[in-house]
């Protein structure tokens, strides 16, 4: 017999969002301004425009426009792979024996395999509109590079991706997808930039780092005519584009009069979580709901639960503006045996502020338990989740089991950000039982904190 609430709730094309939701516009206390690292004064658009597209900069600095129109050219891009399904986890509920209703928004059905395409499209669109011809970016795990390669193919732009060397060796298929879409993939560090050459001189056998790849991508963007740099998480304009996830989820739930009691998302730099919660958090701030929000991070990279709230650089090369955020320090390096993703040292400034103000909760989970949850989920729901997404699954299951104890029939919504087809080496380690948990000691964290700049604003 069919369910009263369908297993998959879809929106029609007409019901898809026409506006993004800018959460900062409805916050009573706003995040602190981004600072220029030289002057320590708030950055201006002119400071950022040599690096980023003009429209991205405008959106980055806009904390007053609540609803930002999605241009037709981007709605057109979204229609190629959206709306994404909102899925009722009937099989998981049954398996857990919980009275809770569990829903998840699944962003993994496009070829890049994750939500990152939701911001890659807009960033490529704005670059094209501005008359640019080239973009550069970095990629670690490979999802962002793949999403940008797809978006650049769609809008007709050239893309160079600096891919962390070890990752380009470990994930040759990711590299192959990007190249097939027409992107140029350069293992980083490389001899194509001053930043790369300098690092290679000091350590020719280095396996590379995200910090170094960012430095190379920014350098190339600044030195190349009609070229800018794009980033896939952490920044406010990326969260704005990702609000399409939350808006679609809300529209789908509204069709059946469902209002979530708990919303859960994994957090690396914060983009999917910020996007998923945006309209729901707006309701909470307005006093129209009592929804709880939970960010889930890996215990090996705990920027919310054990980080400091301070002005810090976004990259290890200390080239970016300073952002006040939850951070482990730009010099923090998560343990090498961490396979679960979400390794970034900092957290988006909006989410950091909501956390400080008690509107957002956070939990840190160890990777063996995250993979246990992933496997439990895939056996009943059928989807192989990305390790990153599985952090949210872990806490959704915990909350559902809590309901089983108390008998409460709560509505739980979580973000399933992607598939794990390119993360099978992590699943192989899990199956071979070689996956371990390494949680940093307080001493390990102190080393990272020492890299946070000693400026008056941080004292």
Question: How far is Cα 358 from Cα 149, in angstroms, rounded to an integer?
Answer: 38
User: Smallest gap, in angstroms, from Cβ of residue 239 to ligand PLP?
Assistant: 8
Q: Show contacts with ligand PLP in window 176-235 (CB under 6 A).
A: 233
Verify binding: residue 243, ligand PLP, rule CB under 6 A. no
Closest residue to ligand PLP, Cβ-based? 418
Residues whose CB falls within 8 Å of the CB of residue 162, separated by 6 or more in sequence, listed in order:
136, 137, 138, 139, 186, 187, 188, 190, 213, 214, 216, 217, 220
Verify binding: residue 114, ligand PLP, rule CB under 6 A. yes
Number of residues that bind ligand PLP (CB under 6 A): 17
Question: How far is Cα 436 from Cα 271, in angstroms, rounded to an integer?
Answer: 27
Verify binding: residue 346, ligand PLP, rule CB under 6 A. no
Question: How far is Cα 284 from Cα 291, in angstroms, rounded to an integer?
Answer: 7
Query: Which run of H or E residues covers position 227?
Result: strand 227-229
Q: In the chain, what is the straight-line distance between the N-terminal and C-terminal CA atoms, in Å?
A: 63
Verify binding: residue 314, ligand PLP, rule CB under 6 A. no
Verify binding: residue 270, ligand PLP, rule CB under 6 A. yes
Verify binding: residue 440, ligand PLP, rule CB under 6 A. no
Question: How far is Cα 395 from Cα 304, in angstroms, rounded to an integer?
Answer: 15
Verify binding: residue 342, ligand PLP, rule CB under 6 A. yes
User: Smallest gap, in angstroms, from Cβ of residue 328 to ligand PLP?
Assistant: 15
Tokens of 229: 């740099």
Beta strands in 335-424 (DSSP E): 361-365, 411-416
Verify binding: residue 327, ligand PLP, rule CB under 6 A. no
Nearer to ligand PLP, 93 or 423 (CB): 423
* Among 118, 123, 143, 291, contact with ligand PLP (rule: CB under 6 A): 143
User: Smallest gap, in angstroms, from Cβ of residue 3 to ligand PLP?
Assistant: 28
Question: How far is Cα 136 from Cα 47, in angstroms, rounded to an integer?
Answer: 18
Nearer to ligand PLP, 187 or 269 (CB): 269
Verify binding: residue 271, ligand PLP, rule CB under 6 A. yes
Nearer to ligand PLP, 193 or 390 (CB): 390
Verify binding: residue 140, ligand PLP, rule CB under 6 A. no
* Among 246, 269, 282, 314, contact with ligand PLP (rule: CB under 6 A): 269
Verify binding: residue 321, ligand PLP, rule CB under 6 A. no
Q: Quick one: three-class SS letters along 33-100?
A: CCECCCCCCECCHHHHCCCCCHHHHHHHHCCCCCEEECCHHHHHHHHCCCCCCEEECHHHHHHHCCCC
Tokens of 293: 């929000």
Q: CB under 6 A: which stretch of 95-103, 154-162, 200-208, 384-392 binds ligand PLP?
A: 384-392
Verify binding: residue 386, ligand PLP, rule CB under 6 A. yes
Verify binding: residue 167, ligand PLP, rule CB under 6 A. no
SS3 224: coil
Nearer to ligand PLP, 113 or 260 (CB): 113
Closest by CA to 314, choosing from 330, 333, 303, is 330
CA gyration radius for the chain? Answer: 21
Place of tokens 């899925």: 87
Q: CB under 6 A: which stretch of 219-227, 266-274, 277-285, 368-376 binds ligand PLP?
A: 266-274
Question: How far is Cα 6 from Cα 63, in angstroms, rounded to an integer?
Answer: 37
Q: CB under 6 A: which stretch of 371-379, 386-394, 406-414, 443-451 binds ligand PLP?
A: 386-394
Verify binding: residue 59, ligand PLP, rule CB under 6 A. no
Contacts with ligand PLP, residue ranges (CB under 6 A): 114, 116, 143, 233, 266-272, 342, 386, 388-389, 417-418
């Amino acid at each position: 017999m069919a369910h009263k609430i369908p297993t998959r709730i879809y929106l029609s094309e007409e019901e898809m969002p026409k506006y993004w939701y800018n959460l900062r516009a409805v916050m009573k206390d706003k995040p602190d301004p981004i600072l220029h690292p030289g002057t320590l004064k708030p950055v201006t658009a002119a400071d950022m425009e040599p690096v980023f597209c003009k429209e991205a900069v405008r959106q980055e600095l806009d904390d007053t426009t609540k609803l930002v129109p999605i241009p037709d050219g981007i709605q057109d891009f979204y229609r190629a792979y959206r709306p994404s399904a909102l899925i009722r986890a009937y099989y998981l509920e049954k398996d857990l024996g919980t009275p809770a209703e569990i829903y998840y928004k699944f962003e993994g059905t496009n070829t890049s395999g994750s939500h990152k395409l939701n911001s890659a499209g807009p960033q490529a669109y704005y670059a094209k509109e501005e008359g640019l011809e080239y973009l550069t970016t970095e990629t670690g795990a490979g999802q962002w590079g793949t999403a940008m390669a797809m978006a650049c193919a769609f809008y007709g732009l050239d893309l160079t991706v600096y891919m962390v060397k070890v990752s380009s060796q470990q994930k040759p298929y990711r590299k192959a997808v990007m190249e097939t879409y027409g992107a140029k993939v350069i293992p980083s560090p490389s001899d194509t930039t001053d930043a790369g050459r300098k690092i290679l001189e000091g350590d020719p056998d280095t396996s590379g780092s995200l910090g170094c790849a960012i430095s190379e991508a920014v350098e190339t963007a600044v030195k190349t005519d009609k070229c800018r740099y794009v980033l896939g998480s952490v920044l406010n304009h990326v969260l704005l584009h990702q609000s399409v996830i939350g808006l679609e989820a809300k529209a789908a739930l509204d069709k059946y009069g469902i209002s979530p009691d708990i919303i859960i998302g994994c957090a690396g730099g914060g983009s999917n979580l910020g996007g998923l919660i945006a309209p729901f958090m707006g309701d909470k701030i307005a006093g129209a709901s009592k929804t709880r929000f939970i960010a889930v991070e890996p215990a090996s990279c705990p920027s919310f639960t054990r980080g400091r709230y301070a002005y810090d650089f976004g990259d290890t090369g200390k080239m970016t503006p300073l952002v006040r955020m939850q951070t482990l320090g730009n010099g923090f390096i998560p343990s090498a045996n961490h396979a679960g993703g979400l390794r970034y040292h900092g957290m988006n400034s909006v989410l950091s502020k909501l956390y400080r103000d008690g509107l957002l909760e956070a939990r840190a989970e160890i990777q063996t338990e995250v993979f246990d949850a992933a496997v439990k989920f895939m056996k009943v729901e059928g989807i192989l989740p990305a390790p990153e997404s599985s952090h949210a699954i872990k806490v959704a299951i915990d909350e559902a089991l809590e309901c089983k104890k108390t008998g409460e029939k709560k509505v739980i919504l979580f973000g399933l950000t992607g598939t794990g087809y390119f993360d099978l080496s992590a699943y192989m380690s899990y199956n071979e039982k070689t996956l371990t948990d390494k949680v940093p000691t307080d001493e390990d964290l102190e080393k990272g904190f020492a890299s946070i700049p000693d400026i008056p604003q941080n004292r």
